[in-house]
């Protein structure tokens, strides 16, 4: 037999196997939820036409929620899948509380590939003297309008049987249905519970008040009123990846005002004041992608109209050499190349989450409080290249901090100035040996509180420490923190466990901020009463949140780009 005659049938068989194998692989991919990671969902939310453009928060899920649930269960460890299904049931109960609806029975059969939810207004009657009642809107895409209509009619029939007085109203060519129930605190008054409208057999709109539906339908009739036609939305969307499963739009000042009603926001949030640019942003858009580990969000923050940002191009920087000196135990870690602007970059987040901070970076408050007012300014002047900083909690429960920066003449001069400042404040300066590494300690003498007739004993309380570790200057609030950086020479240094996450975001960066969620969640609950209420309802989902990493990208005079890497866990 000739070799050609022998090889030809083998090649044909191999080709058939390859074709069939690729086809089977394609079908397997399509038959599993993994396609959501590879392709994403619907390209854009079409229901934004119903969302007024001044809405504080708008979130769109661009795939049917049960498909996301299936993916989460698919990726879960087998022993945890039952718990995963239970968490999904708890989330469904929280979202559909007091409606009597079941997602699988009443919604899934007709639901399309988009769910858009918005807070249309922080207060329905705009009267802060009687408290705040936000106006919420949900727009559900209809895949089967007849089934949606049947489900809606059945829902309102059950409400009527339960004794609710239904109101039918024609508004802008659509029929609004809503129920009014007596207000227990004021029997003579009635409050709207739920209002719905089926629009053009394509969208089912639901709101917590008929006024919200009226605003939504009015917005859809005018391109000047809805978010879908808004210039900010179109500009930001062009800068974000097209593959996504969700979008989140934030009117930052409005969100800040809602979370902190006692603090006044002047329509913008300040990112700093550099070279004539006021760096004020007022609106942002986030596009979310799925990964096997969680989510990656790409962000675009827009300068407020009439303002501009300080341009800065992201560049490749050798972060790899400094991150091994940052312990895993830190609650918040930041790596960057311009320490003077770190607090300014975090101001929007700080202003929204921590009103009592007045937008000041916590590290500055801690270092100035420990070593004297102006210590942080000296440090920012001295750090003239890449740096790493961290915030944590010491064994005593007090805030702990860390700064790591390459040795330089300017930093050495800054440290001398910080020592002089500490001495002016009455602190002592002494040398000590920490695991064979010489260190300087700034201390204050104190008399500990004692009981009874115990003899008085003077102790030295550490305000801060400084040591040279390899080619870096290291400042820390506690001996334990400094010891964690010094590290044993017997084992090689390792990068923090969170660092590989940044590889999910391609391209250069101007810096990173990492948040260990379990450590800061309790602080958020303490600081923000509204967060306490929201997090309680969302606990079945939040308990899987592990790490959040913010990646800062390019900044033009009109836009700041970046990314957010969210690590979730359903494996342990």
Q: Find out whether 71 and 34 touch, Cβ atoms under 8 Å.
A: yes
Classify 428 as helix, strand or coil. Answer: strand
Q: For position 454, what pLDDT does the model report?
A: 60
100 inside domain:
yes
pLDDT over threshold 80, residue 509: yes
For residues 211 and 290, membership in a common domain is answered with no
Q: For position 531, what pLDDT does the model report?
A: 57
For residues 557 and 469, membership in a common domain is answered with no
pLDDT (mean) for 285-297: 94
For residues 167 and 279, membership in a common domain is answered with no
pLDDT (mean) for 52-69: 95
Locus of tokens 């339960």: 162
Q: For position 451, what pLDDT does the model report?
A: 59
Q: For position 14, what pLDDT does the model report?
A: 38
29 inside domain:
no
pLDDT over threshold 90, residue 404: yes
459 inside domain:
no
pLDDT over threshold 70, residue 355: no
Domain end among 190, 225, 260:
225
pLDDT (mean) for 80-88: 86
Domain end among 193, 225, 257:
225
16 inside domain:
no
Number of domains in the chain: 3
Locus of tokens 């991919």: 29
pLDDT over threshold 70, residue 232: yes
Using CA atoms, how far apart are residues 292 and 231, in angstroms rounded to an integer?
34
Considering only 69-83, 230-244, 386-400, 415-429, which range has the smallest mean pLDDT?
A: 386-400
412 inside domain:
yes
Give the pLDDT confidence of 449-475 residue by residue, as tens digits.
665 556 667 788 889 999 999 999 999
Q: For position 234, what pLDDT does the model report?
A: 95
For residues 336 and 303, membership in a common domain is answered with no
For residues 404 and 293, membership in a common domain is answered with no
Q: Roughly what angle, to the nearest 10 degrees, separates helices 362-371 and 375-382?
A: 110
For residues 489 and 554, membership in a common domain is answered with no
For residues 418 and 564, membership in a common domain is answered with no
Locus of tokens 């902190």: 260
For residues 220 and 236, membership in a common domain is answered with no
115 inside domain:
yes
pLDDT over threshold 60, residue 293: yes
For the chain, give the mean pLDDT. 82
For residues 360 and 477, membership in a common domain is answered with yes
Nearest to 500 by CA among 540, 547, 461, 442: 547
Phi then psi dihedrals of residue 180, to 5 deg: -120, 135
For residues 244 and 146, membership in a common domain is answered with no
For residues 65 and 135, membership in a common domain is answered with yes
Locus of tokens 């000047």: 224
**Whole-model pTM above 0.75?**
yes
Nearest to 265 by CA among 273, 255, 279, 275: 255
- DSSP letters, 461-479, are EEEEEEEEETTEEEEESSH
Per the structure, the complete domain to which residue 515 belongs is given by 230-311+511-572
Token representation of residue 360: 């000041």
For residues 87 and 139, membership in a common domain is answered with yes
SS3 labels along 36-103: HHHHCCCCCCHHHHHCECCCCEEEEECCCHHHHHHHHHHHCCHHHHHHHHHHHHHHHHHHCCCCCCCH
């Amino acid at each position: 037999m000739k070799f050609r005659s022998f090889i030809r049938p083998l090649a044909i068989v191999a080709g058939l196997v390859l074709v069939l194998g690729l086809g089977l692989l394609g079908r397997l991919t399509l038959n599993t939820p993994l396609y959501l990671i590879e392709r994403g969902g619907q390209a854009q939310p079409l229901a934004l036409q119903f969302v007024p453009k001044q809405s504080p928060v708008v979130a769109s899920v661009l795939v049917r929620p049960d498909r996301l649930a299936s993916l989460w269960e698919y990726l879960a460890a087998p022993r945890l899948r039952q718990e995963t299904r239970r968490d999904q049931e708890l989330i469904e109960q929280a979202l559909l509380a007091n409606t009597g609806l079941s997602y699988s029975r009443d919604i899934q059969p007709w639901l399309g590939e988009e769910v858009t939810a918005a807070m249309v207004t922080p207060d329905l009657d705009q009267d802060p003297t009687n408290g705040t009642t936000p106006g919420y809107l949900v727009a559900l895409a209809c895949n089967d309008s007849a089934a949606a209509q049947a489900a809606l009619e059945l829902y309102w029939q059950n409400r009527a049987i339960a004794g609710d007085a239904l109101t039918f109203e024609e508004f802008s060519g659509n029929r609004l249905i809503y129920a009014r129930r007596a207000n227990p605190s004021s029997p003579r008054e009635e409050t709207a519970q739920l209002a719905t409208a089926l629009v053009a057999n394509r969208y089912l709109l639901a709101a917590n008040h008929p006024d919200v539906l009226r605003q939504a339908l009015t917005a859809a009739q005018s391109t000047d009123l809805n978010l879908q036609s808004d210039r900010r939305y179109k500009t930001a969307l062009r800068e974000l990846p097209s593959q996504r499963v969700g979008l989140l739009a934030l009117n930052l000042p409005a969100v800040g005002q809602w979370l902190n009603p006692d603090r006044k926001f002047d329509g913008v949030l300040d990112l700093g004041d550099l070279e004539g640019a006021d760096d004020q942003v007022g609106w942002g858009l986030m596009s979310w992608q799925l990964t096997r580990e969680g989510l990656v969000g790409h962000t675009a923050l827009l300068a407020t109209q009439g303002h501009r940002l300080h341009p800065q191009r992201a560049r490749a920087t050798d972060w790899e050499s400094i991150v091994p000196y940052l312990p895993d135990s830190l609650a918040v870690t930041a790596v960057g190349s311009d320490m003077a602007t770190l607090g300014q970059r975090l101001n929007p987040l700080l202003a929204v989450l921590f009103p009592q901070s007045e937008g000041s970076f916590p590290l500055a408050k801690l270092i100035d409080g420990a070593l004297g007012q102006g210590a942080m300014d000296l440090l920012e002047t001295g750090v003239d290249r890449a740096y790493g900083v961290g915030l944590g909690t010491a064994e005593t429960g007090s805030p702990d901090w860390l700064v790591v920066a390459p040795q330089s003449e300017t930093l050495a001069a800054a440290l001398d100035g910080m020592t002089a400042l500490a001495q002016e404040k009455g602190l002592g300066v002494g040398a000590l040996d920490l695991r064979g590494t010489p260190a300087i300690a700034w201390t204050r003498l104190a008399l500990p509180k004692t009981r009874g007739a115990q003899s008085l004993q003077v102790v030295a309380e550490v305000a801060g420490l400084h040591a040279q570790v390899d080619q870096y200057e290291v400042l820390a609030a506690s001996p334990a923190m400094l010891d964690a950086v010094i590290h044993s020479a017997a084992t090689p240094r390792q990068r923090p466990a969170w660092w590989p996450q940044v590889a999910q975001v391609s391209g250069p960066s101007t810096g990173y901020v990492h948040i260990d969620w379990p450590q800061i969640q309790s602080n958020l609950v303490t600081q923000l009463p509204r967060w306490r209420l929201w997090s309680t309802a969302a606990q079945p989902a939040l308990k899987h949140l592990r790490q959040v990493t913010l990646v800062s990208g390019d900044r033009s005079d009109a836009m700041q780009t970046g990314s957010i890497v969210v690590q979730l866990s359903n494996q342990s």
